[in-house]
Chain A
Amino acid sequence: MRLLLLTLAASLALILAGPARAWAQTAPQLQVQADQDTVGVGDILHLELTADSGDAMPTDPQPGATPGFSVRGASSSTRVNIGGNRGGRFGLTVDWALQAQRVGVFTVGPPSVVVGSSRFAARAITVKVVPSGQAPHRPQQQQQVQPQQPFGFSPFDPWRGLFPGLDHGMPDEPAEPPNLTTDPKLALDAARGNFYFLHAVVDTPAAVVGQQVTFSVYEYIDMGAGVSIEVDGTDVHDPTAADFVKHSLQRDDQDAVFVGFGAVAGRTWKVNLVRRWALFPIHAGDLAIGPMSVSLVRPRSAAGSKRTTENLRIHVTEPPAAGRPPGYTVGDVGKLTLSAQVTPRQVDQGGAVGVHLELAGTGSVPAAVPLPVRPGVEWLAPEEHDQLGATGHDTFGGKRSFDYVVRLHAPGEVDLGEVALPFWDPEQRRYDVARANLGKVSVRPSAASPAGSSQAPEEMLAGLPRGRAAMEGAGPAKSHVDDSPVFWLAGVLSWPVLLGVGVAGRAGARRVATSWLARRASPATELKERLTAADTACRGADSRAADAAIARALEAASIAHAGVSVRGAVGGEVVERLERAGVATGTASGFAELMRECEAARFAPDLADVTAARERWARARRAIREMERR
């Protein structure tokens, strides 16, 4: 009986405990942090809020007040930890990108989320904004590792929700469902991995700076694998897109979306959309989108293997320069409209009016609008509100509103002017301008705020000259004499060159003459001349002249070929000199005999026979050749 009572009490406690969780919302754990406490004007500050709740998924994250900053975008991720009988935990992480607008110390936040029906706020943070370029260097951001369950589907049960009735039990070896209709748009030529793979696509391979590129990641799950497939939730890496401003087009708490079945390599695959981002390129070039990667845990045969998406590149250019309206800022792309409200229309001098500007549309909605500044009209820093996000299946947009307080210092009918924001319309492929006319405000003169009172701002840059009303125009093309090589050759170098040539010419001529004379005095030249002379003399009738020429030829030959002069030598002296010079005894003797015969014939009292002289010349030539061959 006692056991029965205990069992009943325990059952009652369990029954009461269940609903109690449902209506008693406990405060979620909120953590907020900024990546820097000091940023420069124009820098991006990342404000991250992490909300963790045991009751429900935190929703509707808001950054809170952002004075001194404008919200440039937000990205978020959710996680669900299934805790079995102990209940689940729901996590939301939101990262707001805030761009610093002006110098000062600002309290940002507090950021907040809604859990159940209540909104919970974290603490506000204080950030110092310094002039551009003076902020401390920001460390390189590491690749973000996503928490568990990145795709919103259970890797233990990828079929959940697809087949009613199977949600609470998935056989380990599912048979391929029969008669599935595949979508040709999801078909691929080849699988990028066994059992499971990721596939990334963009809607366009080319864009202009600031134009939305829709980036999607699909997971493909093999329907006929016959094994259970599990992704390691702690090893999921999102794609990197450092050259883009990124906005998620999926809801923060959205599960992976089933999009259909695709035929890949003859097999049927279930296809889920796991990421859809609007990416806005921030500069021109071939910009890379890095791969997303996950690791498989099951099946065991594929445990630890990586699955990655493709590396993608987007060719980004600037919109055309032709027809670009004045004031266009590169990056302002989309379809935008501008509206304005000014209240009141009558104000005292020195008073203020409120100007509410609303910029709405799709695409990269600019964070600022150009203001029609005028003398005597002071625009104070605006309060900004954003309502940006997915505006359709794959379009990012929304509206930004700017609330200005405008002080009017000059009396009279003050025309506030027109706010005009040029933008590039990628659909129409032309520039357009969003306009809002602010109209006039009647400013009543006030004795309390006369122009030139002590409260008037100090005049800066007094004494500026007047502007020009006409362009100066292009002048005649300036030619520079030193751009021409003729100037350097003829004008500068020619004089020294001419002088150098003159000096060098004289020296050269002297050297040529000297060498010519030296050449003429050489033994070989003299021998050649003597041989010619002897030849000529022997063809004549004067035997004495022929013998004299033969004797001179022999003397020249002894100098040219033996290097010794036999001129003036008598008797055996000729042979001795020639032998000392290395001439063979026989040759030297023949040489000496010929010289002696020539001398005898020259000085003989009777006229000698010219035929004998010719015979001596023939012998002399043989002797000269022998001496030459030596």
Chain B
Amino acid sequence: MRRKTALLLALSFGLLAAGARADDEPSALFASGAKALDEGRPNEAIAAFEALADRGVVDAAASYDRGLAYASRVHIGAEVPGDLGRAAQGFEEARDLTRDPGLAEDASRALTVVRSEVARRRTRAGQPVEVDPGRSLSRTVAGLLAEGTWAVAAAVASALLSLGLLVRRWSTDRRARITGGVTAGVAAPVLLVSVAMTLAARHDRLDVREAVVVSAAARPVDDRGVVIAGATPLPEGARVEVVESRGGSTRIRSGSSESWVLGDALRPLER
């Protein structure tokens, strides 16, 4: 009996220890990466942060430090092609994920530094200097307010529209009827816009996949994967919307234009 109890206790302890190890592993990886970054060993830092990403860890600070590790490699003159794009991807991801305004600000600042370098290189190469074409108009408008704010606006506009119509129809007082008509007239377009923006924001959150260009030579290709002659390379570090993927190519939307690029030239943004 005593032996059985001891066995059970040992088993439980083993399971707990294994669980704790599994939990600690990402933290240990992050710590080793942060230490390597701090000590000026960007390759080791990149290896640790990429290992974290391979394990499916999505964390704003990890993305930010990963971006810094790639940027550090450029900074010390040991750049590997694609480092600037990968740095930008880390900063963009950190900015999207973080709840810390300080981290968001640092990520934005680092992003500016990286994109400035990309712009400088494109200028030297005689290419267009624009490095961030931005989002489409509808996504920009939808992003003006939070998704929840659009939703609340839709509910309030719906109630006001109904109330206005109700008063206008059944009230016997002329003033009340006019007030009801005006209220309904204002609430109707507000309802339409806010419902559309709520749906757009929701679609943006659930369905839109975004990526960052991580190659300095990501040229648009045609549907056979052949580089389009004379096409300007997409700016390294640019944030693009992924429309669809087919074979080794990906159709992207950059600003208001769409094109195909080879999938290796992109790195998706985690959410």
Instruction: Say yes or no: A326 contacts B32, CB within 8 Å.
Output: yes
Given known pairs A471-B27, A482-B151, the reply for A460 and B166 (CB within 8 Å) is no
Given known pairs A132-B217, A492-B195, the reply for A324 and B54 (CB within 8 Å) is yes
Instruction: Say yes or no: B42 contacts A373, CB within 8 Å.
Output: yes
Contact with A along B149-171 (1 / 0, CB 8 A): 01110110011011101100100
Instruction: Say yes or no: B40 contacts A467, CB within 8 Å.
Output: no
Q: Flag whether A24 is at the interface (Cβ < 8 A).
A: no
Given known pairs A326-B50, A481-B151, the reply for A467 and B159 (CB within 8 Å) is no
Contact residues in B for A134 (Cβ distance below 8 Å): 217, 219, 227, 233
Q: Flag whether B246 is at the interface (Cβ < 8 A).
A: no
Q: Which residue of A lies closest to B60 (CB)?
A: A472
A370 to B155, CA, bound (A): 57
Q: Flag whether A483 is at the interface (Cβ < 8 A).
A: yes
Contact with A along B200-239 (1 / 0, CB 8 A): 0010010000000001111100000111000001000000
Instruction: Say yes or no: B65 contacts A461, CB within 8 Å.
Output: no
Partner of B37, one of A40, A467, A495: A467
Instruction: Say yes or no: B44 contacts A491, CB within 8 Å.
Output: no
Instruction: Say yes or no: B106 contacts A461, CB within 8 Å.
Output: no
A82 to B73, CA, bound (A): 60
Partner of B166, one of A417, A459, A480, A502: A502
A457 to B38, CA, bound (A): 22
A457 to B74, CA, bound (A): 12
Instruction: Say yes or no: A482 contacts B147, CB within 8 Å.
Output: yes
A134 to B233, CA, bound (A): 9
Q: Flag whether A224 is at the interface (Cβ < 8 A).
A: no
Instruction: Say yes or no: A499 contacts B147, CB within 8 Å.
Output: no
Q: Flag whether B148 is at the interface (Cβ < 8 A).
A: yes
Contact residues in A for B89 (Cβ distance below 8 Å): none
Instruction: Say yes or no: B117 contacts A372, CB within 8 Å.
Output: no
Q: Which residue of B lies closest to A456 (CB)?
A: B77
Q: How many residues of B contact A (CB 8 A)?
A: 80
Instruction: Say yes or no: B64 contacts A467, CB within 8 Å.
Output: yes
Contact residues in A for B114 (Cβ distance below 8 Å): 461
Instruction: Say yes or no: A499 contacts B47, CB within 8 Å.
Output: no
For residue A545, give the distance in angstroms from its CB to the closest CB of chain B. 51
Q: Flag whether A572 is at the interface (Cβ < 8 A).
A: no
Contact residues in B for A467 (Cβ distance below 8 Å): 34, 37-38, 64-65, 68
- Give residues 112-155 of A contacting B (CB, 8 Å): 130-134, 136-137
A547 to B22, CA, bound (A): 104
Given known pairs A460-B75, A461-B113, the reply for A495 and B158 (CB within 8 Å) is yes
Name the residue in A371, A465, A468, A498 with the highest tally of chain B Cβ atoms < 10 Å from its Cβ.
A468
Contact residues in B for A554 (Cβ distance below 8 Å): none
Given known pairs A326-B29, A371-B43, A468-B103, the reply for A480 and B77 (CB within 8 Å) is no
Instruction: Say yes or no: A370 contacts B218, CB within 8 Å.
Output: no
Main secondary structure of the interface of A (DSSP, over half): loop
Instruction: Say yes or no: A472 contacts B216, CB within 8 Å.
Output: no
Contact with A along B1-37 (1 / 0, CB 8 A): 0000000000000000000000000110110111001
Instruction: Say yes or no: A133 contacts B227, CB within 8 Å.
Output: yes
For residue B174, give the distance in angstroms from its CB to the closest CB of chain A. 20
Partner of A321, one of B33, B55, B68, B158: B55
For residue A514, give the distance in angstroms from its CB to the closest CB of chain B. 21
A466 to B72, CA, bound (A): 11
A475 to B59, CA, bound (A): 10
Given known pairs A464-B75, A470-B61, A471-B26, the reply for A496 and B162 (CB within 8 Å) is yes
Q: Which residue of B lies closest to A469 (CB)?
A: B34
A498 to B265, CA, bound (A): 53
Name the residue in A466, A469, A482, A496 with the highest tally of chain B Cβ atoms < 10 Å from its Cβ.
A482
For residue B77, give the distance in angstroms from its CB to the closest CB of chain A. 5
A394 to B60, CA, bound (A): 48
Q: Flag whether A571 is at the interface (Cβ < 8 A).
A: no
Identify the A interface with B (CB < 8 A).
Answer: 40-41, 130-134, 136-137, 321, 324-328, 370-376, 378-379, 417, 457, 459-475, 480-483, 487, 491-496, 498-499, 502-503
> 17 more A-B contacts (CB under 8 A) besides A373-B41, A492-B195?
A131-B217, A132-B217, A136-B227, A321-B54, A327-B51, A378-B78, A417-B41, A459-B75, A461-B71, A464-B71, A467-B37, A467-B38, A468-B65, A471-B59, A472-B97, A481-B151, A482-B150
Top 4 closest pairs, chain A to chain B, by CB: A327-B47, A495-B162, A131-B217, A373-B78
